[in-house]
Structure 1
Amino acid sequence: MQDILERAKAIRLVVFDVDGVLTDGSLFLGDDGQEYKAFHSRDGHGMAMLRDSGVALAVITGRRSEVVRIRMQSLGIEHVHQGCKDKLPVFLKLAAGLGIAPAEAAYMGDDLMDLPVMRRVGLAVAVADAHPVVREHAHWCTPSGGGRGAARDLCELILRAQDKLDALVQDYLGADRPA
């Protein structure tokens, strides 16, 4: 675990896949073709805490969905790349544009198309219910499944490794409240 914390300490950018990572992978389609997805609110809060701590956040997903655009906008995530069948060139361009080395990036995925990016980053993370090959190539697997708190697991791991989590928790507890 010490190696994982050392990797997490260096992270300046976290990139998330969407389907199977920020959602449980289910796709709900209405008769009119409208797509619906369920996002976990605690994942969103973890992402917001990590973003507010100074870590850049991004999404790279193979599908296009208006609901993803809306959800990421509500979380203040500026770097949203949809419809990316080949995620590695998108990741490399994003990292270079932000002046961040791949070793300073984390990527969270769940399926085979995530492997090219996962193999290039400093911290490759698989959700608990990821494809077995993806879990095999991850530096760390979350205790929670995709869409069920996995993103929060990663956000708190990074915040803990960077010595920022305790202060955030204390802010919620309030400095003037008794322990």
Structure 2
Amino acid sequence: MRTLTPDVRQRAEKIKLLILDVDGVLTDGRIFIRDNGEEIKAFHTLDGHGIKMLAATGVQTAVITGRDAPSVGIRVKQLGIAYYFKGIHDKRAAYAELRAQAGVEEHECAFVGDDVVDLPVMVRCGLPVAVPEAHEFTLEHAAYVTQKSGGKGAVREVCDLIMQAQGTLQPALDEYIK
């Protein structure tokens, strides 16, 4: 486990809602487009299981994305992500609506992003997280930068971080070796 700074630990202890961007966070940021216009995205299974483990502790999960790809909707459903905002151009407004629906305060939200379009949420939430490949300006506004890359375990790292800070990670892991 990565050692958390006191600031990150304190922020993560309060998280009740994890919000994720898609391209560059749940995926590596590349978009494959078939000749028929269909988009193809690759998701990492570690991220998916981390989301499920986190949700099992009572932390809600959400996606806010600027794109509207059917594959993302399918993945969101597979993972049981409670809130899905797609085709969003104003992430700030979607964030306000999401918080109202989820019944959480800003300091109880974590957001993982990779680009400047994510900053309207990142600068308002309790735990702003960026992936290492994020735009430089976005990195400047992150309280935590993952070691893992987007689409390659970054989301699992954040799920584990929140669970570690809340004292739920080790008990969840121990269930697998009983």
Number of aligned residues:
174
Secondary structure of the 1:146 match is coil
Residue among 128, 134, 139 paired with 2:138: 134
Could you say which residue in structure 2 is the equivalent of 1:34?
A: 38
Could you say which residue in structure 2 is the equivalent of 1:177?
A: none
Matched-pair contact (CA < 8 Å) for 1:107–1:123: yes
Cα RMSD for the two superposed structures: 0.6
Could you say which residue in structure 2 is the equivalent of 1:67?
A: 71
1:24 equivalent in alignment to 2:28: yes
Amino acid at match of 1:169: L
1:155 equivalent in alignment to 2:155: no
Distance 1:100 1:34 in 2: 35
Amino acid at match of 1:166: Q
TM-score, normalised relative to structure 1: 0.96
Could you say which residue in structure 1 is the equivalent of 2:62?
A: 58
| 1:26-64 superposed Cα distances (whole Å, 9 cap, x missing partner) | 000111111100000000000110011100000000000
Could you tell me how far 1:98 is from its partner in structure 2? 1.7
Larger CA Rg, structure 1 vs 2: 1
Could you say which residue in structure 2 is the equivalent of 1:116?
A: 120
TM-score, normalised relative to structure 2: 0.96
Matched-pair contact (CA < 8 Å) for 1:128–1:150: no
Secondary structure of the 2:75 match is helix
Moved over 2 A (4+): none
Could you tell me how far 1:97 is from its partner in structure 2? 2.0
Query: Unpaired runs of 5+ in structure 2?
Result: none
